[in-house]
Amino acid sequence: MQDSILLTLGLGFALGLKHATEADHLAAVSTIVSERRSIWESARVGVLWGLGHTASLFIAGLLVVVLGVAIPERVATVLEFCVALMIITLGTRLMYFTLRRNSSVHVHSHSHDGKPHLHLHFHQSHDAHPVPQTHEGAHSGLSRWRTFLVGVMHGLAGSAALTLLVLTEVMRNGSPVVGLSYLLIFGIGSIGGMLIMSSLIGLPFALSSRLPRRLPELLQLTAATASVVFGLLYGWRIIS
């Protein structure tokens, strides 16, 4: 019996590692990691995401164990669509800040009927001007608590519902303690998996920070574009 429980918990850890590598998770985290300039900072992003992901899974697991309430399929679908919107927002945000730092791009503000508007226009190379220092220092990446909330959203989405189904099966052959232990081990696995993945994703961004500025900008724009495209396709798949 004890060997069976240990095997189940070990399986939970392995599935947690694998769970961290799902495409929607990597799409969101890559936009955050692209703004970091060291492997340590990238790894910290993965840990914060994993903590948020584990926290929401564990709370949802408590609802199953204590109240017998699982996330309805319709709610899970809505949460998945919210994840798609979040990925698009993260990619758009990264694209905006990357272009804003480019000396060939100028952020122009004007108003129509008393309502302010912002738009970007591009300079030719001969009349590009340096980016003001205030623009350079005004943005330092997504804050820690927002990174945590990205993990929370992923934990509540459709993948969480699948995990709770596994939790129900574990409890059917074990106990609530075993079920919650499984979720906790699964969460630890997802933290470890995302720590590894965020460090690997952050490696080219950390190395490119020592090279001419255009290379980091190109990598960030690539990450931003990939995130937006993936978010649109992901959202369209859910709607369809």
11 within a domain of the structure (yes/no): yes
175 within a domain of the structure (yes/no): yes
What pLDDT sits at residue 5? 73
64 within a domain of the structure (yes/no): yes
196 within a domain of the structure (yes/no): yes
The total domain count for the chain is: 1
What pLDDT sits at residue 17? 92
Domain housing 153: 2-80+148-207
What pLDDT sits at residue 43? 94
List Cβ neighbours of 184 (8 Å cut-off, separation of 6 or more): 54, 58
Q: Rounded CA gap, 49 and 150, in Å?
A: 6
52 within a domain of the structure (yes/no): yes
What pLDDT sits at residue 125? 47
| Amino acid occupying residue 62 | L
Beta bridge partners of 121: 106
What pLDDT sits at residue 213? 65
Per-residue pLDDT of the chain (240 residues; tens, 9 = 90+): 567 778 878 888 998 899 889 999 999 999 999 988 889 999 999 999 999 999 988 888 887 777 777 677 788 889 999 999 999 999 999 999 888 876 554 455 555 565 555 555 444 444 444 544 444 444 456 678 889 999 999 988 865 666 666 676 676 666 777 778 888 898 999 999 999 999 999 998 888 877 666 788 888 999 999 999 999 999 999 998
pTM of the model: 0.79
Look at residue 112 and give its three-state secondary structure.
strand
